[in-house]
């Protein structure tokens, strides 16, 4: 019996393998607070985007390595060179309350975004897009102009029209459904716990048993919200959470409890230079000088701890699929030459812009009886000295009073005017030596000294603050006075960017998986809701960006992108700094997480259906 038992055990283990099993709880820690768990508003708050990605679903979704795949859509067709998209919907998709999702929900969601009364941050993405219902499960999108990245627009998460359609735009942000969301995604809202101060402590999500695609293994996700990174990391070190993403890149030793995953994001951080707020930024040489001062390699090493790459252009090689410009070491000597060329000097170890004093220039011999403009200028000059020309009359005629004033002037500067000429007293005649002294002291406008000062505006994210401090350190060392202003990220997105109220904005731009530089650099995007953060304008670049939207030919696109890059590097509307990796720490008990290219940090959950905690043994299938 013992032998049979051992043989059975041996047979079982040889013919079975460990596979994922349903169950388990994932405790995710994030910094910040939910504001709107609503696809219409979530774009301005990363915490909201995390929740929206788990609770809602879109026509399309992101797959591994950023590939765009069908989600609610069962298929699509592109017509008229990219101007028309026909999208078919799956018929087995239900919201968490049991109601079916159909074309009306999709149309409602998009038209709500397009209505400016709702003030959705997604409005710019849907301008000029018409949407028509063909049937309950088929929709037509008509674009004013084709652009390759429209497919990414279709990853928009869909609201249930039957819940939201009777809520006015005034009450939309106030609706309780913003904190009790109903979507169609892999997880559904269960409960919310508040702290004594009214802030949200945690939200619990349950696996959607009626999910139309592969159901997740993990039964429950609990999201815990922390005030700052310090509290988040303390919770991680205490083992209170299973997964989290640090906001900074230093002192990240969490072994052996957590495994570090590094995701690639199609984004860059840059210093956007706004010439409307700082006149120095209207000058190409000055902006180029700033670019030559910044040591990107040191920033990647010191701030990112080498968890990222330096960036020299807005066209990232791993996203746009063509070579980036060659990295050159910082060149402070060339920067110095460029600044001196533009009238800057270094005084007391600080760079200042010098505007030389404007002086009068007398060329004629003037005497009693002379008339004209030069006599008028002479009188203006002498009138500045009350002890020389107290009458101060500007007549343009060299009369008695003017002659007396000239004599007084000659007597005042006896050593420079009379003595070299061998005269003992003034003669009232404006000769060579008198003219020479007049040209020296007759100042129309005095010398103007403007300190080269930069104010960097950025968000209160630890990474942004660290980047800003490192840039400030490098600029200050060179002699450019630099100040940092820090605001809440929500204020940056909703107010400061909207009004373009900054000199130099240190911020990130997420490019998307299908890159389209048009929203970031075309001159029509200089005002909100456009994303041209430098208020940059170049007609040649505009034409290139327009042509890019209308071509899908790989070699042609590469050629256009290279031309666009050349223009941007020459004009330097922004100083491109780095592309940090997205670091994500996950407990060793959680399996199935894969490193990949993701379009946004919230897309770390794109493979959530494959994550698992529990396991079981299953018999292997015969080959």
| Per-residue model confidence as pLDDT tens digits over 370-379 | 999 999 989 9
Q: What percent of the chain has pLDDT over 70?
A: 97
Q: What letter does residue 498 receive in the DSSP assignment?
A: H
Tokens (6 digits) for 286: 């000055």
CATH code: domain of residue 144:
3.90.76.10
Residue found under tokens 């959950």: 605
Q: What is the pLDDT, as a whole number, of residue 4? A: 78
Is residue 244 assigned to a domain? yes
Given 150, 174, 198, which residue is the final one in a domain?
174
Model confidence at 454, in pLDDT bands (50, 70, 90)?
Answer: very high
- DSSP letters, 315-353, are S-HHHH-SPPPPP----HHHHHHHHHHTTEEEETTEEEE
Indicate if the pLDDT at residue 133 is higher than 90.
yes
Indicate if the pLDDT at residue 445 is higher than 80.
no
Beta strand 582-587 pairing with 243-244: antiparallel
Model confidence at 359, in pLDDT bands (50, 70, 90)?
Answer: confident
Of residues 577 and 19, which shows the higher confidence score? 577
Question: Could you tell me if 457 and 339 lie in one domain?
Answer: yes
User: How do the residues of the chain divide into helix, strand and coil, expressed in percent and rounded to 5?
Assistant: 35, 25, 40
Q: Do 409 and 347 meet the contact criterion of CB atoms below 8 Å apart?
A: no
Is residue 37 assigned to a domain? no
Question: Could you tell me if 463 and 546 lie in one domain?
Answer: yes
Give how far Cα 175 sits from Cα of 122, 163, 180, 181, 225, Å.
19, 10, 9, 10, 21
Question: Could you tell me if 336 and 479 lie in one domain?
Answer: yes
* pLDDT, tens only, 192-248: 999 999 999 999 999 999 999 999 999 999 999 999 999 999 999 899 999 999 988
**Cα–Cα distance measured from residue 583 to residue 597, given in angstroms and rounded to the nearest whole number:** 12
Closest residue by Cα to residue 510 from 44, 33, 50 = 44
Is residue 404 assigned to a domain? yes
Task: Name beta bridge partners: 94.
Answer: 100
Give how far Cα 194 sits from Cα of 28, 199, 203, 241, 523, Å.
16, 6, 9, 18, 45
- Can you give the length of the chain in residues? 623
Range of 394's domain?
358-445
Question: Could you tell me if 523 and 381 lie in one domain?
Answer: no
Task: Name beta bridge partners: 506.
Answer: 271
Question: Could you tell me if 558 and 620 lie in one domain?
Answer: no
Question: Could you tell me if 298 and 400 lie in one domain?
Answer: no
Chain-centroid distance of CA 182 in Å reads: 31
Q: What is the pLDDT, as a whole number, of residue 356? A: 74
Is residue 271 assigned to a domain? yes
pLDDT, mean over the chain: 91
Sequence-separated (6 or more) residues with CB below 8 Å from residue 409: 382, 385, 388, 417, 426, 434, 437, 438
Is residue 260 assigned to a domain? yes
Question: Could you tell me if 567 and 592 lie in one domain?
Answer: no
Tokens (6 digits) for 40: 């219409």
Give how far Cα 362 sits from Cα of 355, 407, 425, Å.
21, 17, 22
Is residue 3 assigned to a domain? no
pTM above 0.75, yes or no: yes
CATH code: domain of residue 439:
1.10.101.10
CATH code: domain of residue 595:
3.40.190.10
Question: Could you tell me if 571 and 499 lie in one domain?
Answer: yes
Question: Could you tell me if 381 and 487 lie in one domain?
Answer: no
* pLDDT, tens only, 270-283: 999 999 999 999 99
CATH code: domain of residue 298:
3.10.105.10
Task: Name beta bridge partners: 583.
Answer: 262
- Which of 153-167, 169-183, 215-229, 356-370 bottoms out in mean pLDDT, i.e. has the lowest? 356-370
Question: Could you tell me if 311 and 329 lie in one domain?
Answer: yes
* pLDDT, tens only, 150-159: 999 999 999 9
Model confidence at 251, in pLDDT bands (50, 70, 90)?
Answer: low
Is residue 285 assigned to a domain? yes
* pLDDT, tens only, 90-111: 999 999 999 999 999 999 999 9
Indicate if the pLDDT at residue 512 is higher than 60.
yes
């Amino acid at each position: 019996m013992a032998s049979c038992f051992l043989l059975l055990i041996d047979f079982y283990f040889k013919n079975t393998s460990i596979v994922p099993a349903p169950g388990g709880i994932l405790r995710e820690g994030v910094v910040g607070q939910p504001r709107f768990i609503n696809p219409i508003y979530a774009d301005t708050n990363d915490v909201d985007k995390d929740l929206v990605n788990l609770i809602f679903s879109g026509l399309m979704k992101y797959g591994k390595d950023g590939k765009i795949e069908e989600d609610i859509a069962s298929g699509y067709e592109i017509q008229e060179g990219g101007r028309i998209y026909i999208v078919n919907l799956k018929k087995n998709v239900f919201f968490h309350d049991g109601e079916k999702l159909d074309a009306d929900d999709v149309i409602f969601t998009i038209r709500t975004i397009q209505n400016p009364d709702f003030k959705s941050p997604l409005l710019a993405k849907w301008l000029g897009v018409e949407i028509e219902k063909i049937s309950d499960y088929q929709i037509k999108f008509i674009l004013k102009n084709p652009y390759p990245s429209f497919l990414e627009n279709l990853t928009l998460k869909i609201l249930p029209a039957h819940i939201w359609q009777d809520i006015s735009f005034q009450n939309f942000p106030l609706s309780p459904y913003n904190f009790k969301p109903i979507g169609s995604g892999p997880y559904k809202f269960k409960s919310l716990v508040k702290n004594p101060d009214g802030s949200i402590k945690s939200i619990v999500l349950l696996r959607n048993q009626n999910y139309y695609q592969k159901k997740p293994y993990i039964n429950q996700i609990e999201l815990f919200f922390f005030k700052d990174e310090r509290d988040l990391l303390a919770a991680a070190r205490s083992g209170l959470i299973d997964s989290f993403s640090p906001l900074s890149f230093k002192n990240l030793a969490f072994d052996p409890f957590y495994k570090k995953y590094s995701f690639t994001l199609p984004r860059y951080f840059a210093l956007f230079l706004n010439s409307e707020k700082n006149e120095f930024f209207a000058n190409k040489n000055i902006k180029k000088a700033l670019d030559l001062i910044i040591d990107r390699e040191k920033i990647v090493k010191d701030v990112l701890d080498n968890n990222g790459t330096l960036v020299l252009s807005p066209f990232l090689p791993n996203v746009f699929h063509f070579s980036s410009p060659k990295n050159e070491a910082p060149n402070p000597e060339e920067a110095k030459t460029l600044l001196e060329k533009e009238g800057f000097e270094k005084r007391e170890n600080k760079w200042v812009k010098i505007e030389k004093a404007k002086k009068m220039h007398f060329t004629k011999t003037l005497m009693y009886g002379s008339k004209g403009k030069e006599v008028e200028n002479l009188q203006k000059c002498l009138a500045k000295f009350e002890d020389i020309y107290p009458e101060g009359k500007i007549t343009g005629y060299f009369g008695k009073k003017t002659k007396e004033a000239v004599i007084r002037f000659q007597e005042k500067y006896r050593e420079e005017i009379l003595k070299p000429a061998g005269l003992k007293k003034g003669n009232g005649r404006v000769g060579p030596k008198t003219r020479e002294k007049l040209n020296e002291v007759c100042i129309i406008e005095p010398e103007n000294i403007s300190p080269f000062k930069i104010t960097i505006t950025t968000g209160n994210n630890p990474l942004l603050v660290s980047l800003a401090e490192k840039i400030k350190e490098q600029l200050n060392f060179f002699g450019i006075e630099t100040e940092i202003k820090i605001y809440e990220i929500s204020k940056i997105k909703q107010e400061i960017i909207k009004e373009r109220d900054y000199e130099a904005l240190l911020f990130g731009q997420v490019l998307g998986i299908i890159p389209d530089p048009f929203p970031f650099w075309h001159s029509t995007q200089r005002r909100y809701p456009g994303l041209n953060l430098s208020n940059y304008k170049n007609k040649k670049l505009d034409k290139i960006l327009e042509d890019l939207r209308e071509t899908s030919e790989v070699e042609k696109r590469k050629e256009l992108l290279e031309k666009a890059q050349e223009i941007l590097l020459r004009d330097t509307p922004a100083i491109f700094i780095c592309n940090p990796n997205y670091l994500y720490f996950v407990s060793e008990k959680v399996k199935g997480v894969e490193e990949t290219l993701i379009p946004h940090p919230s897309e770390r959950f794109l493979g959530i259906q494959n994550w698992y905690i529990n396991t079981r043994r299953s018999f292997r299938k015969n080959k």
